[in-house]
């Protein structure tokens, strides 16, 4: 379901933006317009949509327009032209009252440099937005404590923010945003000021929270590895223009131009691609009650050397067999259960390829892939792992 739709959004900085807008509509580029009009095109004719519950990452180098764009989405920057639809309402039509309501109830922002109040405690910082909404004191404390627990800051409620590390401060900012129960969260390079280890922890924290809360998140970054780790889809900006939008695997496999190719050349694919991206879906499986002779025919008709044995009732994997195992069962008139091997390994479909590589090294069988309910959804052959890395 579409949550946000942006159509031909343009933001021009300068006293008389209309002249620059006319030049932009004639097809002129940012540098030409700056030289001719002394106006800066922050973003020009940008269009995209964001699905409900999606983490949509906007990526670009410094000066690409990404921060300008995200600030247009809550009208901290008033666009020069274009439309921004949230739940099919053009927020550019809002009056002051409607805009205030929108900012207080539907959208929240997490800033790069925390934006916390140094004179307030951790709890009081998280409460701030709820105070603005005039929520009852007891209710807002309860809600704020709940959010602090969610981001792993239980026990730090009454400390001053000056006592916190950078990562902890960013968790406070995230808790404050979540306390208002917004449907949309804007995150403007929230982890860029953190050291690499804390940054990695925050990535994990955000992924875990998003798995539970399923908010619509727009995340800004200049870090390609961060973008590909966090994003369901990624939009790449250059000079205020949208160059490509796609899933991480779509951009890796089909870069739109040389700029994108250069942008992604140093990315660590093993930390970006997941098991679901490289597995063979709906691959061969054999029911636990299948006769060994029939199972051998099924295996011989496939292009696999091994077959996973599953429970047909709940689709869980019970074991794995090869042709020799099945021949042994046929000769001995044995059920499959007596010849199958149970020392197979499995990974969740959202496991990164790096994790799969470590697991695959310890087994002679294909790696089974299971979903959140433990059901068999696919397999990963060694060849697929090697292909994913090049």
Tell me what the mean pLDDT of segment 178-190 comes to: 91
pLDDT at 7 over 70: yes
Indicate whether 3 belongs to any domain. Answer: no
Three-state DSSP string of the chain: CEEEEEEEEEEEECCCHHHHHHHHHCCCCHHHHHHHHCCEEEEEEEEEEEECCCEEEEECCCCCCHHHHHHHCCCCCCCCEEEEEECCEEHHHCCHHHHHHHHHHCEEEECCCCCCCCCCEHHHHHHHHHHHCCCCHHHHHHHHHHHHHHCCCCCCCCCEHHHCCHHHHHHHHHHHHHHCCCCEEEEECCCCCCCHHHHHHHHHHHHHHHHHHCCEEEEEECCHHHHHHHCCEEEEEECCEEEEEECHHHHHHCCCCHHHHHHHCCCCHHHCCEHHHHCEECCCEEECCCCHHHHHHHHHHCCCCEEEEECCCCCCEEEEEEHHHHHHHHHHCCCHHHCCECCCCEEECCCEHHHHHHHHCCCCCCEEEECCCCCEEEEECHHHHHHHCC
Q: Last residue of a domain, which of 228, 250, 269?
A: 269
Q: Kindly state whether residues 255 and 280 are assigned to the same domain.
A: no
Q: Kindly state whether residues 309 and 335 are assigned to the same domain.
A: yes
- Write down the pLDDT at residue 183: 95
- Whole-number percent of the chain with pLDDT over 90: 52
Q: Kindly state whether residues 217 and 341 are assigned to the same domain.
A: no
- Read off the CATH number of the domain in which 366 is found: 3.10.580.10
Query: Would you tell me how many other CB atoms lie within 10 Å of the CB of residue 148?
Result: 24
Indicate whether 350 belongs to any domain. Answer: yes
Tell me what the mean pLDDT of segment 9-24 comes to: 93
Indicate whether 14 belongs to any domain. Answer: no
Indicate whether 122 belongs to any domain. Answer: yes
Q: Kindly state whether residues 203 and 60 are assigned to the same domain.
A: yes
Q: How many residues does the chain have?
A: 390
* Parent domain of 379: 276-388
pLDDT tens readout for residues 244-294: 999 988 998 889 999 999 888 878 788 778 888 888 887 788 999 999 999
Indicate whether 20 belongs to any domain. Answer: no
pLDDT at 151 over 90: no
pLDDT tens readout for residues 187-207: 998 888 788 888 888 888 888
Q: Last residue of a domain, which of 269, 298, 325?
A: 269
- Write down the pLDDT at residue 212: 86
- Write down the pLDDT at residue 73: 97
Measured in Å, how far apart are the chain's first and last C-alpha atoms?
34
Tell me the sheet residues that pair with 119: none
Indicate whether 19 belongs to any domain. Answer: no
Q: Kindly state whether residues 159 and 260 are assigned to the same domain.
A: yes
Q: For strand 367-370 and strand 346-348, is the pairing parallel, antiparallel, or unpaired?
A: parallel
- Write down the pLDDT at residue 237: 95
Domain count, the chain: 2
- Whole-number percent of the chain with pLDDT over 70: 98
Give the neighbor-by-neighbor strand order of the sheet with 40-51: 40-51, 2-13, 81-86, 89-90
pLDDT tens readout for residues 379-389: 998 777 777 76
Q: Kindly state whether residues 170 and 111 are assigned to the same domain.
A: yes
Q: Kindly state whether residues 319 and 249 are assigned to the same domain.
A: no
Indicate whether 352 belongs to any domain. Answer: yes
> Which residues lie below 8 Å from residue 357, measured CB to CB, with a gap of 6+?
270, 385
- Write down the pLDDT at residue 390: 64
Task: Name the pLDDT band for 54 (thresholds 50, 70, 90).
Answer: very high
- Read off the CATH number of the domain in which 94 is found: 3.40.50.300
- Write down the pLDDT at residue 359: 86
Q: Kindly state whether residues 102 and 181 are assigned to the same domain.
A: yes
Q: Kindly state whether residues 188 and 291 are assigned to the same domain.
A: no
pTM of the model: 0.78
Closest alpha carbon to 179 in 154, 142, 212, 152: 142
Contact 194, 161 (CB under 8 A): no
Q: Last residue of a domain, which of 236, 269, 302?
A: 269
* Residue 171 CA, distance from chain mean position: 18
Q: Kindly state whether residues 252 and 317 are assigned to the same domain.
A: no
Closest alpha carbon to 293 in 333, 254, 245, 261: 333
Q: Kindly state whether residues 130 and 221 are assigned to the same domain.
A: yes
pLDDT tens readout for residues 328-337: 999 999 999 9
User: Distance between CA atoms of 13 and 161, rounded to whole angstroms?
Assistant: 35
Indicate whether 40 belongs to any domain. Answer: no
Task: Name the pLDDT band for 298 (thresholds 50, 70, 90).
Answer: very high
pLDDT at 179 over 90: no
Q: Kindly state whether residues 301 and 223 are assigned to the same domain.
A: no
Tell me what the mean pLDDT of segment 155-184 comes to: 88
């Amino acid at each position: 379901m579409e949550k946000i739709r942006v159509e031909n959004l343009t933001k021009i900085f300068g006293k008389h933006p209309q002249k620059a807008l006319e030049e932009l509509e004639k097809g002129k580029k940012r540098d030409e317009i700056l030289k001719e009009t002394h106006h800066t095109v922050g973003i020009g004719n940008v269009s995209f949509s964001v699905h409900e519950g999606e983490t949509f990452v906007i990526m670009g180098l410094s000066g690409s327009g990404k921060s300008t764009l995200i600030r247009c989405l809550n009208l901290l920057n008033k666009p020069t032209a274009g439309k921004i639809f949230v739940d099919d309402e053009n927020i550019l039509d809002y009056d002051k009252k409607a805009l205030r309501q929108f900012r207080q109830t539907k959208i929240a922002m997490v800033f790069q440099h925390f934006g916390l109040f140094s004179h307030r405690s951790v709890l009081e910082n998280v409460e701030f937005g709820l105070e603005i909404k005039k929520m009852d004191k007891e209710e807002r404390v309860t809600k704020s404590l709940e959010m602090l627990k969610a981001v792993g800051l239980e026990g730090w409620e009454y400390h001053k923010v000056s006592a916190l590390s950078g990562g902890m401060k960013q968790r406070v900012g995230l808790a404050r945003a979540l306390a208002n129960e917004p449907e949309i969260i804007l995150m403007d390079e929230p982890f860029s000021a953190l050291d690499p280890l804390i940054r990695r922890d925050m990535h994990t924290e955000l992924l875990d929270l998003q798995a539970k809360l399923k908010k619509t998140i727009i995340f800004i970054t200049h870090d390609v590895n961060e973008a590909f780790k966090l994003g369901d889809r990624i939009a790449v900006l250059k000079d205020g223009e949208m160059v490509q939008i796609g899933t991480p695997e779509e951009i890796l496999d089909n870069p739109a131009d040389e700029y994108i190719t250069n942008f992604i050349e140093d990315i660590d694919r093993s930390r970006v691609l997941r098991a679901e991206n490289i597995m063979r879906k709906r691959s061969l499986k054999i029911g636990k009650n299948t006769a060994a002779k029939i199972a051998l025919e099924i295996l011989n008709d496939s292009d696999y050397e091994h077959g996973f044995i599953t429970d047909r009732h709940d689709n869980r994997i019970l074991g794995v067999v090869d042709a020799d195992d099945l021949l042994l069962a046929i000769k001995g008139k044995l059920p499959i259960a007596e010849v199958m091997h149970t020392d197979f390994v499995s990974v969740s479909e959202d496991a990164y390829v790096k994790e799969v590589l470590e697991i695959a090294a310890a087994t002679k069988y294909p790696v089974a892939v299971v979903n959140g309910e433990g059901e068999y959804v696919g397999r990963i052959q060694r060849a697929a792992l090697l292909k994913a890395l090049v």
